[in-house]
Amino acid sequence: MKEINQIIHLTESIDILKSIIKNGFYTSYAKETFNGKNILIPMISFSNILFRDIGKNEVVDYGKYGIVFDRDTIIKKFDLNPVFYVKNESDLETTFKTNFENSIIPQTLKVAKDFYTDCNCEKFTDHININPISNEVKDLLNTLDKNVNDDFINSLKTIFENYFVNSLKQMLVLKPYTVENKSSETKIAYNEREWRKSYFELNFISEFTPKGEINKEFQKWINTSKPHYTEKYVQKFDLSDVKLIYVENENEVKDLNNFIKLNFLNQSIHIKTLSECIEIENAI
């Protein structure tokens, strides 16, 4: 069985390509939609695909330029994770996000206890406005009172903190099976065989707050041009890590060779046009 032993980062222009070669990969937020709800996920994205799968009307159409790495080597060096594709509008699609949301509120149990201490009230959830919140979490909050042991609260908090971290890691590598491109055409995202570099200290960002209001953080990033992080969360690499770079035409091969000579003394790299890469691949 033949394996696709390369991973490619695709980009839209030779200027962006030069920036990546010189500075490394910058992290940006990408919008994903789960169960009709938009979220922003921070990532650097790669695809484990063949050259013939790149281009208009092909599997991947994210630009005519790319940096190619050996799959197994760069997965280890960059600590990449394969994307977990979930079927749209399925139970599994909602499970990950629900688990994440349910893990947040129980970490505030001490706040709930303090509330009961200062207020002669029966149900904590009658005085908070959090949506969504599961019945199980509601019951947990409402069973507290000012006499609950602090050690017990801290134990629960630790459990849910671990639950939160694990759920966050899962959310950052999720993708719907089908997506809409910029032209509102439905594409099978599963075919892209995506791998991601994730920084797990960065959270995903929901379009709406728990109160149902527009999330200002979401609006900020969705209206900010990429890349979003140019100092922190940058994935560096050496030219020796690169298997191949492809460009659109022969003139750009010469241009990029000159750029590398100027910025990286005594170093060189294989540069070809995408059409040449496809021809070589088809001949194998």
58, 124: one domain: no
Residue 53 lies in a domain: yes
- 2-11 pLDDT, tens digit per residue, is 789 999 999 9
Note the pLDDT tens digit of each residue in 50-101: 999 998 878 888 889 999 999 999 999 999 999 999 887 776 667 776 777 7
Q: Nearest Cα to 202, choosing from 213, 219, 217, 192?
A: 217
The answer as to whether 218 is a domain residue is no
59 and 185 together in one domain: yes
Write down which residue in 123, 145, 170 finishes a domain. 170
Largest CA distance in the chain: 79
- Is 275 found in the same domain as 152? no
Whether residue 110 is contained in a domain is answered as yes
Phi/psi at 192 (5° precision): -75, -15
Q: Please tell me the predicted confidence (pLDDT) of residue 138.
A: 75
Residues 196 and 262 placed together within one structural domain of the fold:
yes
Q: Provide the pLDDT for residue 225.
A: 95
Which of 149, 170, 191 finishes a domain? 170
pLDDT at 216: 94
Indicate the average pLDDT of the chain: 86
DSSP string of 96-163, one letter each residue: HHHHHHHHHGGGGHHHHHHHHHHS--S-GGGS---SS--HHHHHHHHT--TTS-HHHHHHHHHHHHHH
Residues 34, 97 contacting (CB under 8 angstroms): yes
- Please indicate, yes or no, whether residues 128 and 242 belong to a single structural domain of this protein: no
The per-residue pLDDT for range 142-167, each reduced to its tens digit, is 777 777 777 877 787 787 778 777 87
Q: Does residue 187 sit in the same domain as residue 279?
A: yes
- On whether the CB atoms of residues 171 and 204 are closer than 8 A, the answer is yes
Q: Which of 279, 205, 259, 193 is nearest to 6 (CA)?
A: 193
Tally of CB atoms within 10 A around 150: 10
Q: Are 241 and 73 in contact (CB under 8 A)?
A: yes
Looking at residue 31, what is its pLDDT? 93
pTM of the model: 0.82
Count the domains in the chain.
Answer: 2
Q: What is the pLDDT of residue 187?
A: 86
Q: Are residues 47 and 113 in the same domain?
A: no
124: pLDDT strictly greater than 70: no
Shared domain for 66 and 100, answered yes or no, is no
pLDDT digits (tens, 9 = 90+) for 1-42: 478 999 999 999 999 999 999 999 999 999 998 878 899 999
Could you tell me if 50 and 187 lie in one domain?
yes
Report which residue type is found at 28. Answer: S
Q: Which residue has the higher pLDDT, 190 or 131?
A: 190
User: Are residues 260 and 141 both part of a single domain?
Assistant: no
Give dist(CA 189, CA 185) in Å, integer. Answer: 12
Residue 219 domain flag: no
Q: Does any domain span residue 214?
A: no
Single-letter amino acid, residue 250: E
Shared domain check, 137 and 65? no
What is the pLDDT at residue 127?
65
Same domain as 193, residue 264: yes
Q: What range defines the domain where residue 102 resides?
A: 94-170
